[in-house]
Structure 1
Amino acid sequence: MSEKPKILHQQIVSKSRLFTVEEVEFKFSNGVERTYERLIAGGAGAVMMVAMFDDEHVALIREFGGGIEEYSLTLPKGAVDLGETLEHAANRELQEEIGFAAKKITFLKHMSLSPSYMKSGIDIFLAEDLYPSVLEGDEPEPLELIKWPLANLQELVMRDDCNEGRAIAALYLARDYLDGRKA
């Protein structure tokens, strides 16, 4: 099972403004052939930031999610512009979404979003030493900024309006990283 399946054929089957759907035929080491469809996002990637106001409080945003038709508590995030480094994109998105920039940005992890159906992923960063700095963003309405105690992470993730899996994972990654630094 350690041998990766071979790609027999791949083709674009659909395109929209945001997504490309690719059909990929794989042949597994046991001879089984299977056709998958996967989303291929355009652009240069995506970033999500756990922005710390201080040693204890994280910046959350309340943002409308068109896919679920609800407002959710989540983390600042966004697309990486072509030619932009991940760190620069992270700092730009912070300024656009929460009105702060970070003096220190630490890479935590690259995560796949849905490995069976999406080729792209997201890069998670810890942002510290925040200072006020505002850039105009592309959100359709102002985002609500919420200062949340990281010590109350369990309470946060049990809320109905905290439902974005990648944000929850990023918060736990950051908490554990910060706890490891204290030890």
Structure 2
Amino acid sequence: MPIIHQITNIANSRLFTIESIDLEFNNKKKRTYERLKPKNLETVIVVPIIHNQLLLIQEYGIGTENYRLNFPKGTIKSEENIINAANRELMEETKFGAKKIVLLHKLFISPSYTPGTINIVLAKKLYKKELKGDEPESLPIIYWPVNHMLKLLNEPNFCDTRNVCALLLTHIWMHNIIKTTIS
């Protein structure tokens, strides 16, 4: 492992702290890297399915300054587990809850810059249930046929890498290639 000689906070915002890290590798080469300060940031992205249709939301993303098609997602609060967080986000963003949640995979968001992880889950057996969320506007629901799920990859507004991973993992799971379940 490289030796960390120094860590310096170089910028702070309401959401992020950026650190500069001075490293020395085993071959004696030195480099300075930057990263988001490690936090126990764990998130969830939910792929909801009802009546053989995926539920997507249309949500504004400031990074692209445009509306995008997304699966419901959000931060797991300290008192929550993956299932509770997934169900809460689902209820806040789609007005549905799920009786069954399947953990498909856990990914690092960007391991070169942050230790944050995202849990990709599949939500099934949906029922109407609304929770008030923190969204500044109502999120339109888009229903997409499961049997045409991969055609979402042709949609220009379905471009978030987390959503693409979630879609592909759902497709793989549905074809019995992976099976991991939590209740």
Deviation at 1:44, TM superposition (A): 4.2
Tell me how large the CA RMSD over aligned residues is: 2.0
Percent sequence identity over matched residues? 39
Pick from 126, 133, 138: which aligns with 2:129? 133
Which residue pairs with 1:95 in the alignment?
A: 91
Cα distance in 2 for residues equivalent to 1:86 and 1:157 = 26
Q: Which runs of 5+ in 2 are unaligned?
A: 179-183
Instruction: Look up the equivalent residue of 1:17 and give its one-letter code.
Output: R
The question of whether the paired residues in 2 share the 8 Å contact of 1:87 and 1:105 is answered with yes
Pick from 78, 84, 87: which aligns with 2:80? 84
Which residue pairs with 1:143 in the alignment?
A: 139
Instruction: Look up the equivalent residue of 2:152 and give its one-letter code.
Output: L
The question of whether the paired residues in 2 share the 8 Å contact of 1:52 and 1:58 is answered with yes
Which residue pairs with 1:30 in the alignment?
A: 27
Pick from 61, 64, 67: which aligns with 2:60? 64
Cα distance in 2 for residues equivalent to 1:175 and 1:51 = 13
Cα distance in 1 for residues equivalent to 2:49 and 2:118 = 19
**Structure 1 residues 83, 111: closer, same or farther in 2, change over 3 A?**
same
The question of whether the paired residues in 2 share the 8 Å contact of 1:19 and 1:42 is answered with no
CA offsets per residue over residues 122-179 of structure 1, 9 Å max, x none?
1111111111100001011100111111222332111111111110111110111121
Which residue pairs with 1:114 in the alignment?
A: 110
Which structure 1 residue ranges, 4+ long, deviate > 3 Å from structure 2? 40-44
- TM-score of the pair, normalised by structure 1: 0.90
Aligned residues: 179
**Structure 1 residues 42, 17: closer, same or farther in 2, change over 3 A?**
farther
Cα distance in 1 for residues equivalent to 2:120 and 2:37 = 19
Deviation at 1:9, TM superposition (A): 2.0
- TM-score of the pair, normalised by structure 2: 0.90
Cα distance in 2 for residues equivalent to 1:133 and 1:42 = 31
Cα distance in 2 for residues equivalent to 1:160 and 1:20 = 32
The question of whether the paired residues in 1 share the 8 Å contact of 2:6 and 2:21 is answered with yes
The question of whether the paired residues in 2 share the 8 Å contact of 1:47 and 1:77 is answered with yes
Please tell me whether residue 15 in structure 1 is matched to residue 16 in structure 2.
no
Please tell me whether residue 165 in structure 1 is matched to residue 161 in structure 2.
yes
Pick from 166, 176, 183: which aligns with 1:180? 176
User: 3-state SS of the aligned residue for 1:170?
Assistant: helix
The question of whether the paired residues in 2 share the 8 Å contact of 1:60 and 1:75 is answered with yes
Please tell me whether residue 50 in structure 1 is matched to residue 47 in structure 2.
yes
